[in-house]
Structure 1
Amino acid sequence: MKIIDARVVISSPGRNYVTLVIETESGVIGVGDATLNGRELSVASYLRDHVVPLLIGREANRIEDTWHYLYKGSYWRRGPVQMTAIAAVDIALWDIKGKVAGLPVYELLGGAAREGVMVYGHATGADLDELKDDFRKHLDAGYKAVRAQCSVPGLSKTYGVPPADGRMYEPASGSLPQQDVWETTAYLDFAPRMMEAIREEFGFGVHLLHDVHHRLTPIEAARLGAALEPYRPFWMEDPTPAEDQSAFRLIREHTTTPIAVGEVFNSIWDCQQLITERLIDYIRTSVSHAGGITHLRRIFSLAELYGVKSGSHGAGDLSPVSFAAALHVDLSIPNFGVQEYMGHREPANEVFHTSYSFENGYMHPGNLPGLGVEFDEKAAAAFPYDPKYLPVNRKLDGTVHDW
């Protein structure tokens, strides 16, 4: 069954998404997510100019061969642009294979290893009272795991807390990146008080997560991890910039707080040391940024050998196609930990029609053949691309810092 057409669709139904559509000679169509937030057009160009011409005439069922053909054949390997492009192709081919077989993708991956996928939501607030209110709403909705982020007193903006007007982090169309201001001491003083307040209000019967978002030095992260231990967090996410894998050894030596990292990783080699030296507890690589279902399963298989669980990134800037693919992987692997779930802004449901479901803190990808997501290209045309940038972070003295 040969590929006869492949096209890249850029749309913005609430967020910017890049969708790859692959069509076969039998009429079966598969879709993949190629979204790289803030750099969407780079992946779209990579696909259109360099990958799509290579797909026409290839056998759609040869997923493994196609993955290596695109990865090794480029010579210039890895990085977010290439790996996101390969992921889009890979996801679309798994979608096709499932539709041809008449089975949901998770059945092709070995079948369900659990009844559902535990997901965590995001509770936020401009102050502790607002955070508690939002946290309670998540518990009332059935969540078993909730991430807590709150504005740090003295800072005009804090990561994880959306703007008061309900907009996204990304600024309005056509403007330069938003400039945020950061001060580490204020954060290190406040974060333990925030976690203490949540535990005092809601007890220890809910999994409590927190995202540092790469802001700390290794010794600062070690200090924070030690300070959070009494509140038994499910994890401390991205405590220090992920590129320096050896830094996590220092953190590990000073705290027993579980560590999660990896949403910015693109390949198994990016996280090899962290996994094999047991420097982390959860690996957060995502299906759309780490080479698709084929490569993400390799990462999770390596992690399984060393007792590391999955905790995949699932932000709203990854399309419903990506999230569906993640759920199929989550449901099938033995070392699943938790899945991030932020949902998608309207009118995404006009463009992406999904079969996955949420009930009592767990999600299921559904049992439709393939991924269970239908992409409406005509509807997508009504939502043109809207250029945006992620923020830039600066310390109080003006130094550019990790956002």
Structure 2
Amino acid sequence: MPKIVDARITVTRPGRNFVTLKVICDDGTTGVGDATLNGRELAVASYLGDHVVPCLIGRDAHRIEDIWQYLYKGAYWRRGPVTMTAIAAVDMALWDIKGKVAGLPVYQLLGGAVREGCTVYGHANGTSINDTIAAALEYQAQGYKAIRLQCGVPGMASTYGVSKDRYFYEPADAALPSENMWSTARYLRVVPDLFKAAREALGWDVHLLHDVHHRLTPIEAGRLGRDLEPYRPFWIEDATPAENQDAFRLIRQHTTAPLAVGEIFNSIWDCKDLIENQLIDYIRATVVHAGGITHLRRIAALADLYQVRTGCHGATDLSPVAMAAALHFGLSVPNFGIQEYMRHTAETDAVFPHAYGFADGMMHPGDAVGLGVDIDEDLAAQYTYRPAYLPVNRLEDGTLWSW
């Protein structure tokens, strides 16, 4: 059995900051895991280097579940984004090792494929409705069957999801958090017009999605959902902060628009009540922030009992390592719904060579052994970390709001 003899942590910035763990075994087999926590990267790197890696040395790399439980229960201080991102990195690396030793891609170890590929959605954004529709038409021409729509809000200098570049959006844009302005009233007026224009331009054979980014109260979210119902949204994402999960019960009372939430969730306990009470339709917990493949499978199994499907986060704060892991998971889980996909820059792709690919609106992890992705450590060393924080949001009167 392969014994863990070393583990290296790489912090690099090929376009944006990433933290990567490489686990090394005594037979020379290596595995990689993503440990990126946007805006808090060094906290995870320290947690891994100071507290996790020393506990891995000498352990049997095949004992994935046992090591997961050891890192979760053994720390006493459970859950939280730093802990669960660190555990996820170890978990991904161990599945990568197991696949390489077995000579199989990870999805085969998870029971094999239950679909031909993972349907993904792209991000269409623009400063105006017309700009967003133009971007959406480009995605449709590229074969995307699902597209997220975000547009600028009149009177606001900046809007979440709207970038200077149509394809490469990175909101962590400053060494200290920049401040944005927000108006719920103006936002609620523009989104229905955006969806109306999208249906007129794109037709009804493409799924349309929208991300609220936790900015509405439950009753405001219910109003938005009702306004969008005629345009059949695939989902409304993060309609309201999920700390008070009964808030989603109130939204349900006012709209039949499907609801998605969970990209900032860290464990099954964050979404247990939402799933069991069928207050959501899609769970967006991600492989890198919710404890890796091992724990995400547990979340999906619970969700499957209640006809809740997966819709995992997949923005560029997931490195290609996590994207590969998400695709192996998505290809094998029965209640897969959709996978977010934001393409990485050429610099990122060069640092993380990978086997996954996109065609006809779907992605496939490929059939390379393990996760099918690696890190070029020499190239990564040429890109130096620098602080990059997510913005904060304020209402027009100065009140701090959810960004």
TM-score (norm 1): 0.98
Q: Deviations over 1:233-287 (max 9, x none)?
A: 0000000012211100000111000000000000000000000000000000000
Gaps of 5+ in 2: none
Counterpart in the other structure of 2:170:
168
Structure 1 residues 284-323: aligned runs within 5 Å: 284-323=284-323
Aligned to 1:260: 260
Deviations 1:278-311 (A, max 9, x none): 0000000000000000000000000000000000
Number of the residue aligned with 2:68: 67
In 2, are the aligned partners of 1:316 and 1:345 still within 8 Å (CA)?
A: no
Aligned amino acid, residue 213 of structure 1: H
**Alpha-carbon shift at residue 167 of structure 1 (Å):** 6.9
Question: 1:250 maps to which residue?
Answer: 250
Q: Helix, strand or coil: the match of 1:121?
A: strand
* Corresponding residue SS for 2:21: strand
Q: Is the 8 A contact 1:19 1:34 kept in 2?
A: yes
Letter in 1 for 2:131: E
Aligned to 2:343: 343
Give the Cα separation in 1 of the matches to 2:169 and 2:96.
33
> Quick one: which amino acid aligns to residue 151 of structure 2?
C
SS at match of 1:272: helix
Deviation at 1:317, TM superposition (A): 1.1
**Matching residue of 1:219:** 219
Instruction: Measure, in 1, the Cα distance between the counterparts of 2:84 and 2:272.
Output: 17
Following superposition, the deviation at residue 164 of structure 1 comes to 6.6
Give the gaps of 5 or more residues in structure 1: none
Distance 1:362 1:350 in 2: 22
- Report the counterpart of residue 383 of structure 1 in structure 2: 383
Distance in structure 1 (CA, Å) of the matches to 2:243 and 2:15? 31
Shift of 1:15: 1.1
Per-residue CA deviation, residues 177-204 of structure 1 (Å, 9 max, x unaligned), is 1100000000011111111110111111
- The amino acid across from 1:315 in the alignment is A
1:70-95 superposed Cα distances (whole Å, 9 cap, x missing partner):
00000010000000000000000000
1:163 deviation in Å? Answer: 3.5
Partner amino acid, structure 1, of 2:218: P
What RMSD in Å do the two structures reach over aligned CA positions?
Answer: 1.0
Shift of 1:129: 1.4
- Name the structure 2 match of 1:334: 334
Q: Name which of structure 1's ranges 105-114 and 194-203 shifts more when overlaid on structure 2.
A: 194-203
Q: Is 1:274 the equivalent of 2:264?
A: no
SS in 2 for 1:254: coil
The aligned counterpart of 1:58 is 59
Corresponding residue for 2:158? Answer: 157
User: Could you tell me the TM-score, scaled by structure 2's length?
Assistant: 0.98
CA–CA separation in structure 1 for the residues paired with 2:164 and 2:176: 17
Cα pair 2:161 2:169 within 8 Å, conserved: no
SS at match of 1:138: helix
1:15 aligns with 16
Question: Are the aligned partners of 1:120 and 1:144 in contact in 2 as well (CA < 8 Å)?
Answer: yes
Partner of 2:30: 29
Number of residues of Structure 1 aligned to a counterpart in Structure 2: 401
On the 8 A contact 2:38/2:172 being kept in 1, the answer is: no
Identity of aligned residues (%): 63
